[in-house]
Chains A and B, each alone.
Chain A
Amino acid sequence: MKRLAAGFGLLALSLVPLQGAAEKSIFSEISPAELALKADPLQPGADAVVLFQSVFSNHRDGYEEFHTRIKILTPEGRRFADVEILHIEGVLEVTQLNARTILPDGSAVPFEGEVFDKLVAGDRDGEVLFKTLAMPAVEVGSIVEYRFRLERKAYFPPLPWLIQREISVLKGRYSVKQMRHASRSRTNLNWSYRLPEDSVLELQDDGETRVLEIDNVPPNPEEAYSPPGDLPGYHVRFFYFYSKLTAETIDAYWAEVAIRLAEEEEDFIRDDKGIDGVVRSLTEDSAEGRLRALYTHAQQLTNLDYEGPTTLKERDRQDVKRNRGVDDVLKRGYGTGGDINRTFVALARKAGFDALVVKVRSRREGLFLKNLPDDSQLDTPLVRVRLGSSWLFLDPATRSCPFGFLPWDSAAARGIAVLDPDSSAPIYVSTPAPESGGAATRRRFSLELREDGSLAGSLHVEFGRQQSLQRRLSAVRLEASNRGQMLIREVERSLPAGARVELRGTSGWDLAEAPLAAQFDVELPGVAVSTGTRLVVPLNFAGADRAYPFQRSSERVNPIHFSYPWQEIDEILISLPAGYAIEDFSSDSTLSGESVEYRLAASEEGGRLRVDRFLRVEGTLYQPEAYPRFRRFFRLVKNGDDKYAVLQREN
């Protein structure tokens, strides 16, 4: 089903007849080439292809016009004949909706059926709906065509052009007519985009319309490990700005944002008694000790973003109020993540530290686009504080986040520093890139191999700081028993089917600075395979859930994005059954490079089989050109993991 994400609008709930009778004058002629087309030249075998797509964004008169012509190439492609247009009651209204089917012989069947309103969500404040229609008489070789207008009934930001779709677009024409004056300060139309090279929005003779013509756009492939973002593929998004967008003006925009935010911060971070009390109570001598004490204090505040009541009614009942300043936060003991980080800044400053709030875009949501003057990108407040000669980025609002460490989505993130207007420091900030050492999970198995091929013994897991933090956050609202179950399920997934796992103990759930660790008793039936006189032990029995990405040979289009770099460190000791000795085992595997490393080694240690495995992957973002190397690396890792040791029964 094709949902036009760009479409919004409203029709009354009743069914609306279409203007099928007028279709001849509304749609242009279908060309013989379009009728004759049998396959998508850009993607042979595709189910359908967009022959023509146009969007006219008339910001001046408050509407957008869409026109789409799709050729159905396979029976599966008929799904593109079911059309859904998103609209919003009282904000964007669908008008002038016309549709038709062109049969393979060139004759037209106007759409005269019913259009349904499918409610996405509605409450007292309004409704978001899909206008839904099924095109008639569609067969392979047909062309479905529809056009409609979305008229603004209330303010709604300019809609983006979504140029790349799940099927190829052979011909596209996009035009925008700019508003005269969006507001007193925002008068110039600007745009940010992801487009093929040399694509230009040409200014027309009227001096106020720009046109982009772009043909032969292949589909945007869905690829694992693609960077996050709300608009994948080629697109253009519009915004109004007080001047033309240049390097200078965009810097000026973010400087303006920084100043505005600074005013808000300063208003919140007022010097008052509460701060004095906390700072006076510090007993630590060293600067770092004092800063850590303040950090711990801030961490003990309740973060309403993921703790405390979940509904507005509960907040009302519990008299949870909006904090107006640091004093409120300290008195009430709670706040949003932003409140808590601002409070920490206030405390740090009072204690003599140079501290300020920075705002970045969470990498969970997307990458910060400097050239997009939209301050809603800045969704994550952090703290930057000077300790000695270096700057630290901290996030005391995140429960259990160790001092000097950041959750993965805030690390290697970009944004701006909320600066004093007189400051000459740079506005833009990037938080430190994470290193694999901050996400190193160690597993130690001590097992006994039985003659029936089963393994039994203990497993000790120590999660890296990043993995510990993520698990602690997942478990914020979980009871102790469910936390245990969460870890048991995780271990079960890593072991062969039928494994029995019992949790013996955990530590570090509530300690930010210590790793989360757990001990298990495990029993793994049927791991070793008997070949008659021998037992063969696979060395990768504890990697059932291991991901070996990039096995496909397709050409990579999108960059590669890892949430965070990581390490896997396994140490396995296996006692042999009585009467068996190690006869042979696989050679060691070693791979190393600047950003990746892998080692697997089997050895005999005091009559036991010892296996050491190490994997390291650095970095978070790579260009598509790196794909073949990553593919080869993970293929070699998979190959390296697929190793054995052979035990021979002694006579």
Chain B
Amino acid sequence: MLPASSLPFFCATHSPPFAGSNVRMMLTMTTLAKGFLLTALLLGVVGLYLGLWRAPASAQQGGLYRILLVHVPASWMSLFLYPALTAWAFFTGMRLRSFPWRTIQAVAPTGALMTLLSLATGMLWGIPAWGSAWAWDARLTSVLILLLLYTSLMVLAWLVDSSPSRDGAGWILLLLGTILVPVIYFSVLWWPGLHQGASLSWGGSALMHPCMLNALLLMCLSFFAYSLTAILLRWQCLATEADFPKS
């Protein structure tokens, strides 16, 4: 018997009387999720400390640029999660021989949250820096489309009844988003607009104090660990609710 306290506390289920190998997997996932959450908090605290207190202000923008500590990791996660979701959905779908809506339900909300956070912090940064919260340049417009794709996946997963056309729409949305992600990444290069160039890339990084760069990398890792936590816990809840629906 598995004690109810070891389940994620926000699962909408009663104490499950389940037994068998699922128990070990569920316990492993909860432990993993707790580990990732702790990692995320630790990395986040250190990163924010380095970035907000230790790193110097910039010549152009003063202290305002520190908002990139949240903006850049959120943007990176929103770009990373969509192809990861497509890959995971593809392999799960091949195994299940049907569209894996549980995978979508596990990942899409976190992706949508990251995209929303990226847009919101971007707007907060833009008002003092650019003089405008929004402009229809390539980067901003394509990220908005990405947000619409994430929310469309969520609407399909939770609000639309099961049917072959729902599954077809799901695959199309996954494909469109995966194609859109490299477009978003290269948009500042292909279409010069308002948004500045990349802060982090394979070739190097933007010019900033090394302390700030370290803080930024730590925040990226922290957001990644948080995303894993959220996805693991959500997936666990969905699996538990599916196996043991409330009577």
**Bind each other:** no
